[in-house]
Structure 1
Amino acid sequence: TWEVNNRLTVIGGLRSTYFDVTDKMYFEPRLSASYSLSKKWKLKAAWGHYYQFVNRIVREDVSQGSRDFWLLSDDQNSPVSFSRHLIGGISYETNGWLFDVEVYDKSLDGIVEYSNRQSATALVDLEDTDYFFEGTGVARGIEWLIQKKTGKYKGWVSYTIGEVVHDIPGISDNPFYALHDTRHEINLVNTYEVGRWEFGATWVYGTGKPYTSPYGEYELTTLDGVTYNYISVGAKNSFRLPNYHRMDLSANYKFKMGETGSGQIGLSLFNLYNRDNTWYKEFLVEEEEVLETDVNLIGFTPNLNLSFKF
């Protein structure tokens, strides 16, 4: 940490990792800085390199939705993934309030998807490695935050507008939105303390994530008379699931047990108004007609909890 003067502070770091699977060293430099415009206003910026040695592999299954899995990086089917982060922002902070805005841009390398699209045109036996496709991507956006930090009532509201775009040759001729791309996201978090009671309310909203939809079925017949049936799909991730939102409520009561012990009993209500939020879609093609089924996330779920500390 270098305090250049009473306004400017710079923090630098270097992380190094040796990964025995690839027999390589990986260096991750990081640099951040903050500049105080006044006692309450502050500018900030950060830059860094990051590697990940366990990768989430997106398995494209148009008929049954996403079936993702995780692989240890081997620099073959699952490369060591890399990301470069650039973040800049400005904040206004008092003893009780925080107002913060950040802009981020993250370049991504070593993104992998597993797909059997290639088998629809190859008509030959493929090796397992032929189903892995590697590419790059970018994540960028702007985040706003307003937070009340003190008092019986605390809480914050945040809004993010952003996008995550992948470019994977073999999967799509053009860049496409990633499965976890959410254009708009809002979070409202509230807590209120009175005596030994603490009440909480949270509301989450996000625009629908993308998915790929089939639009029919076709047949290919080889020269030896063997017929293969294949599903014809639309553009990669060109459709959007319905928007996601839910409200959660909670109430907790704290009590003492003797001189040193304590406990807490609480009730939480997940997805209070029982919103049907779609996780993914399943498709069935029958007689050239596409039948669509929504697979939903958890609906209204009450939960009672009791804990003790000695």
Structure 2
Amino acid sequence: MNYKQESVNFDVLTGQEHILDNEVLETAIRAEGSYFLNDTWDVEAGVQLVETGIRNFRGINLPAFRSLSKEVLRTTSLYVEGNAHLQTYTTIAAGIRANYFDKLNKYRIEPRLTILKKLGGPFSLEVLVETKSQTTVQVVDFQTDFLGVENRKWELVNGENIPLLTSRQASVGVNYQKKSLLVSLEGFIKGVDGVVTASQGFLNQFQFERTFGSYVSHGIELLVNPSFGDLDSWLTYSFLNSDYTFSDLVPQEFRNNFDISHALSVGLTYQLNNLELSSGVNYRSGVPFTEPQGIDKTNDEIVYDFPNAMTLDNYFRMDFSAKYRFDISDKWSGNCGIAVWNLTNRENIINTLSSITEDGELSQVNQKALGITPNVSVRISYKF
């Protein structure tokens, strides 16, 4: 896997050029095997070696500044999983994964358990418990770089200011599936440790803080997917509650930047011969933000209220698309389509940033989502 980002910001007034390059190269090799004990039991096991390298370059011409860093981390993993298909219409998958991170000189054991059980008729139960880890983190240096567009870069964990990101989560879901109707309801809880403040995109008093902590999220997710011949529809709803804990910040506990309490999505797709019509509505609560109270003239900095105590206005968007498929010959075919994003042209504020102007006044800039945006596409395909 290879990922590369190149960014250039040029200030016409000062002649300053700011270059930022971020490259990720990941190579993996894996060997695995399975053994079937009988019709009920089977076992899978394997070993995986992953090498992740990240290169970061920053260059500024005025004043002259250059910074180049290259980091490599190798992860060795051994894993084994046993699967049981019981006569009680129950499937159990239990596994364990042992990881060794050479750069951190650290071992980590990650157990996982999945249980699927038919409850009778169209009902089934799914239980999932697992732990995971991540060795890369996407961070934001400065929110105002690159014309104010948030610019993220990938960095490797180092066990110091960027700890290993670990998570533990559990969920219980009940499914109903019969003929053309699927209903799924799931409750979950998730805890993540090693969360770096620079990866969360803070726009308040913690924007320049560099520390790490954790967050805990819990909620429910609902899916309703009925189909009626050529008409397919779906409805999804989610409720989320998520809170940070950073022991080095004051206050230590407050709402997560991505704590969207309610999210609702409804969609319809209708197929009429070669014509496909689709429409969807997305509605969700606004994201949390911190209200500025004023300016501290002594330190020339903004004074903020309690972090993430306020919430932006709700988000609403309606989309529409139409696609038509056609045949040109036995070998050639094509499709053309039109799509309209935010059909109602609603103004949705998705973030807000406060700053101090050159006159020493408090300024607040709202980041808005796209207004009505039409798209037209044509694709021609040839089948060999």
What TM-score does the superposition give when structure 2 sets the normalisation length?
Answer: 0.70
Bigger mean CA offset, 191-200 vs 131-140: 131-140
Match of 1:251 in 2: 322
Tell me the distance in 1 between the aligned counterparts of 2:142 and 2:174: 40
Tell me the distance in 2 between the aligned counterparts of 1:233 and 1:54: 31
Deviations 1:133-164 (A, max 9, x none): 11111111011111024620002101111112
Structure 2 residue 193 is the aligned partner of structure 1 residue 193? no
Given candidates 31, 46, 55, the residue that maps to 2:113 is: 31
Match of 2:345 in 1: 274
Match of 1:178 in 2: 256
Tell me the distance in 2 between the aligned counterparts of 1:91 and 1:60: 44
The 3 A distance-change label for structure 1 pair 33 and 140 is same
Unaligned runs of 5+ in 1: 120-129, 221-227
Match of 2:246 in 1: 168
Given candidates 29, 44, 49, the residue that maps to 2:126 is: 44
- Deviation of the 1:309 alpha carbon: 2.4
Tell me the distance in 2 between the aligned counterparts of 1:52 and 1:215: 37
Tell me the distance in 1 between the aligned counterparts of 2:209 and 2:237: 38
Tell me the distance in 2 between the aligned counterparts of 1:294 and 1:262: 45
Deviations 1:198-233 (A, max 9, x none): 00011101101011222111244xxxxxxx322211
Secondary structure at 1:37's aligned position in 2?
strand
Structure 2 residue 155 is the aligned partner of structure 1 residue 71? yes
Tell me the distance in 1 between the aligned counterparts of 2:222 and 2:188: 12
Given candidates 289, 292, 308, the residue that maps to 2:364 is: 292
The 3 A distance-change label for structure 1 pair 109 and 60 is farther
Match of 1:214 in 2: 292
Tell me the distance in 2 between the aligned counterparts of 1:164 and 1:22: 29
Match of 1:89 in 2: 173
Bigger mean CA offset, 86-95 vs 27-36: 27-36
Tell me the distance in 2 between the aligned counterparts of 1:66 and 1:263: 38
Match of 1:122 in 2: none
Unaligned runs of 5+ in 2: 1-82
Would the aligned equivalents of 1:145 and 1:156 in 2 still touch at CA under 8 Å? yes
Would the aligned equivalents of 2:232 and 2:270 in 1 still touch at CA under 8 Å? yes
Would the aligned equivalents of 1:216 and 1:289 in 2 still touch at CA under 8 Å? no
What TM-score does the superposition give when structure 1 sets the normalisation length?
Answer: 0.85
What's the C-alpha RMSD, in Å, of the aligned pairs? Answer: 2.6
Would the aligned equivalents of 1:81 and 1:108 in 2 still touch at CA under 8 Å? yes
Tell me the distance in 1 between the aligned counterparts of 2:135 and 2:342: 35
Q: Percent identity?
A: 26
Match of 1:111 in 2: 195
Match of 1:225 in 2: none
Would the aligned equivalents of 2:224 and 2:235 in 1 still touch at CA under 8 Å? yes
- Deviation of the 1:289 alpha carbon: 5.7
- Deviation of the 1:131 alpha carbon: 3.7
Would the aligned equivalents of 2:239 and 2:261 in 1 still touch at CA under 8 Å? yes
Would the aligned equivalents of 1:66 and 1:280 in 2 still touch at CA under 8 Å? no
The 3 A distance-change label for structure 1 pair 208 and 69 is farther
Higher RCO structure, 1 or 2 (CA under 8 Å, sep 6+): 1
Would the aligned equivalents of 2:230 and 2:271 in 1 still touch at CA under 8 Å? yes
Secondary structure at 2:197's aligned position in 1?
strand
